[in-house]
Amino acid sequence: MVNSSKTIFTLPVRVYYQDTDAGGVVYHSTYLDFMERARYEWLRELGFDIHSLIQVHKVIFMIRSLNIEYFKPALLDDSLQVAVQPTELGRSRITLSQHILRGTVTLAGATVHAVCVGADSLKPVSVPAPLRHKLGKFA
């Protein structure tokens, strides 16, 4: 769901048993899974599902780097919101700010640098013009 200012996409996520350790605390790597899922759904909301990116535009996005900080633990059965906000758009790079919240409390935050690469070559290519056009409104 994109908020009214059209800059932040949020995805609701429930914490399941498999997301946690024996104490009911979410594994640190699971936050990355939640963020990946939110980025996937954000692209879908923009009209660019994974199949169209590969088959029509001949590109995929790969994570070049990310920096994540953990502030508070998410727990079994928590209802979370995973936010995606584009902050910078380069020729072949998109920088995103992502946060995981429980209510108004930020549990984790990350800066993600994704690179657009050719689906066959896996070498950097320009972000497709139709996606760039939509991202220009957000970034």
Residue 19 annotated in active site: no
What three-state secondary structure class fits 137?
Answer: coil
CA–CA distances in Å: residue 34 to residues 27, 30, 75: 11, 6, 14
| Backbone phi and psi for residue 65, each to the nearest 5 degrees, phi listed first | -160, 160
Instruction: Dump the DSSP string for 8-37.
Output: -EEEEEEPPGGGB-TTSBBPHHHHHHHHHH
Q: Could you give the count of Cα atoms lying within 13 Å of 68 in the half-sphere of its Cβ?
A: 18
Question: Of 21, 77, 78, 120, which residue is the catalytic one?
Answer: 21
Residues involved in catalysis: 21
